[in-house]
Structure 1
Amino acid sequence: MTTGATRTVWITKSRRPKVVVIGGGTGLPVVLNSLKDQDAEITAIVTVSDDGGSSGSLRNYINVVPPGDIRNVLVSLSDISQEEKDIFQYRFDSSDSFFSGHAIGNLIIAALNEMHGNIFDAVQSLSKMMQVDGYVYPASNEPLTLNAEFVDGTVQVGEKEITDMDKRIKRVWVTNTKSADQPEAVQPVLEAIEQADAVVLGPGSLFTSILPNLMIPNLGEAVRKTRAEVIYICNIMTQLGETDHFSDSEHVGVINQHLGGNYITTTLVNGAKIDMSKFDPADYDAYIEPVKNDFAGLRQQGCRVITDDFIDQHSGLVFHDGQKVAQEIINLAYAAMARKKG
């Protein structure tokens, strides 16, 4: 069902639609994996401000852009065998003080970063080796640090430290970890956004996976200027320490506020009831409750709303139905292509 506008499925295909997906975390690969099955040119722009887990440890040891989200995105778009993907994703469980907990892929990305001297060229090299169908671009060529101001006026630095505060966040911004230079995205990132038919934000943690990318000044400006359909895939569940009790319109409102205007043109929101009897809080202790629908609030921000049963719920876990989401994105991308021709 579509709320607020009538959707058209565009059949005539003069070229593959160009879809840019911006974000990080576990939700992004689900959508990318399904988009890969569509006839589209995909570019994934991946967050580089993660400071937790294996990524954070490597970042501290060798000052590399955190590789975890990049690793997962590469796998989601790769055409190598499943066995090779499993090796790339394998995480050491030994008691070694350094290797314990590290994924092999993270170590490979760190090594290539050292060989090439920068993360962007490292990822392009690895994309060729992994037969990636599309493009994977780090949001910045330098590691970035996430900063947050809370509603109470206090400030915190670092992704993990911010969420651990469990306070309502007022705004976030990024700084260059290694220097006082202004963070910036490299030119291929900006060109991908400029040429896109659809720019997709999410799904993923609002303040720590999506906004860090948009707060890179020239990347945010590219999103503001693009003629593409700007689509936000709203999270299914609220997230502890970030979006406690947020509605879908509040998610969109935060993004628009950070961008300085109503730039989200379409939002995909789940309209189906979640079977909470299947939900195991022990598995998803960071999630609180389903995101509430506020269609009026979304329309007040000039946002088209597409609502459907976007849930893929199995084994007590809740994910987006990647195939349904991907089809909606492709429909919107073709519609944007038609408008550009007109």
Structure 2
Amino acid sequence: MTLAAKTIRVIKGRRPKVVVIGGGTGLPVIVKSLHDQNADVTAVVTVADDGGSSGVIRDYINVVPPGDIRNVLVALSNAEPISLDVFQYRFDSSDSFFAGHAIGNLIIAALSEMKGGIFPAIQELSSLLNVDGHVYPASNTPLTLHAEFADGTTQAGEAEISAAGKQIKRVYVTETNPAATQPPAAMAEVIAAIMAADVVVLGPGSLFTSILPNLMIGNLGEAVRKTQAEIVYVVNIMTQKGETEGFTDAQHVQVLHDHLGEPFVDTVLVNIAPVPEHYLNANKYNEILLPVQHDYAALRAMGCRVISADFLRLRDQGVFHDGDKVATEVLNRAFQVHTKRER
């Protein structure tokens, strides 16, 4: 998009305010595309991840897992490329601790100790990395994700829940610190951003382990229900093993509504481009199953506006959302909703 085109995308003389809530690999893609299309972006990032480098650091130091936050910071950063390359560098040393760790994760962990929490640490790092927008952890403290399965059993831990291979009935979060006396809560800045947004975007990302952990934080979920912003859910392109096997797009939305106790999703973005047969590398992306099937009648019965288009991007033998196309539709909704409210 040209600079001239960017300057047109304003609401009453300001950039459209978009809050994106989620985690995983899809979040920084959408955040970067929204930023590139001149949105004022706030990313609210899950803090219930316990896998990979983030999980190891969390085991050593009682901090919020930093991996998803690191990638979103880079997506919104205007720092020099060499600074971002160093920040994203992952050690290939054989050292028993450093092997596989990203330098940025270690910096975030160090700043969290220095500043007394992940929230002030990320605001400091945002300034250092010249971030255009806001990156907010969903909570200032580490959270543990819990799942209740359809068979009545329970499991704690994001990675363990996905690996259980059981149908999930519901999820919820608790403070990881057993000495905590208060339920999980989002910082005031997170709530203010949601209430002031033109559009709140959920996803793309794992339904039960990337999106819902955020909404299960009491005051954050309440803000999503009460905000006047348009709530847009980006439906996953593929079903996910251990989470959404056999789900239609409408079943994804129904799970969201069930967890918050009322319908709240206004618009869903649905990919209709076919995934080429045999393109997906099932060994590399072993949690991905089949394309999500569509149930437009059920979506509309839930009060959702359906935007169906080619949102598909194929790369590295994987199936992803095209961030630019998603961002364009999100901003279109922002302007349409604003125009309607002004009438």
In the superposition, the TM-score normalised over structure 2's length comes to 0.95
Structure 1 residue 153 and structure 2 residue 173: aligned? no
What is the CA–CA distance in structure 2 between the aligned matches of 1:202 and 1:100, rounded to whole Å?
30
Q: Does the 8 Å contact 1:238/1:289 carry over to 2?
A: yes
The residue number in structure 2 matching 1:18 is 17
Alpha-carbon shift at residue 11 of structure 1 (Å): 8.0
Provide the residue aligned with 2:174 in structure 1.
Answer: 175
The separation in 2 between residues aligned to 1:102 and 1:171, in whole angstroms, is 32
Query: 1:77-115: CA deviations, max 9, x gaps?
Result: 111122221211111111111111111000000010011
Find the counterpart in structure 2 of residue 270 from structure 1.
271
Q: Is the CA contact (8 Å cut-off) linking 1:146 and 1:158 kept in structure 2?
A: yes
1:250 aligns with 2:251: yes
Structure 1 residues 315 and 61, CA, compared in 2 at 3 Å: closer, same or farther?
closer
Look up the match of 1:6.
none
Matched, 1:283 2:310: no
Give aligned-pair identity as a percent: 60
- Secondary structure at the aligned position of 1:105 is classed as helix
Which residue of structure 1 aligns with residue 324 of structure 2? 323
Structure 2 unaligned segments of length 5 or more: list them.
1-7
Q: Which has the higher contact order (CA 8 A, sep 6+)?
A: 1
**1:138-195, Cα deviation, whole Å (9 max, x unpaired):** 0001100000000000011111111111000000000011124200001000000000
Q: Which moved more, 1:193-202 or 1:36-45?
A: 36-45
8 Å CA contact 2:9, 2:16 repeated in 1: no
The aligned length equals 334
Q: Distance in 1 between matches of 2:191 and 2:10?
A: 29
Q: Which amino acid aligns with 1:229?
A: E
Alpha-carbon distance between aligned partners in 1 of 2:340 and 2:61, rounded to the nearest angstrom: 47
Q: Is the 8 A contact 2:9 2:38 kept in 1?
A: no
Q: Which residue number in structure 2 is paired with residue 228 of structure 1?
A: 229
Distance 1:11 1:94 in 2: 47
Residue by residue over 1:118-143, the C-alpha shift from the partner in whole angstroms, topping out at 9 and shown as x without a partner, is 11000000001111110000000110
CA RMSD of aligned residues (A): 1.4
Distance in 1 (alpha carbons) for counterparts of 2:20 and 2:314: 23
Alignment partner, residue 142 of structure 1: 141
In structure 1, runs of 5+ residues without a counterpart are 1-8
Moved more, 119-128 or 312-321: 312-321
d(CA) in 1 for partners of 2:310, 2:70: 29
Alignment correspondent of 2:4: none
Aligned to 2:46: 47
- Asked if the contact 1:10–1:331 (Cα under 8 Å) also holds between the matched residues in 2, the reply is no
Structure 1 moving runs of 4+ over 6 Å: 9-12
Separation (CA, whole Å) in 2 of partners of 1:286 and 1:215 = 23
8 Å Cα contact 1:142-1:176 kept in structure 2: yes
Q: Return the letter of the residue paired with 2:322.
A: D
Q: Which amino acid aligns with 1:117?
A: G
Residue 303 (1) aligns with residue 304 (2): yes
Shift in Å, 1:277 = 2.8
Q: CA–CA distance in 1 between the matches of 2:310 and 2:12?
A: 27
SS at match of 1:102: coil
Question: Taking structure 1 as the reference length, what is the TM-score of the superposition?
Answer: 0.95
Contact 1:10 1:335 in 2 (8 A): no
Alpha carbons of structure 1 residues 153 and 12: separation in structure 2 relative to 1, 3 Å: closer
> What CA distance in whole angstroms lies between the structure 2 residues aligned with 1:59 and 1:281?
29
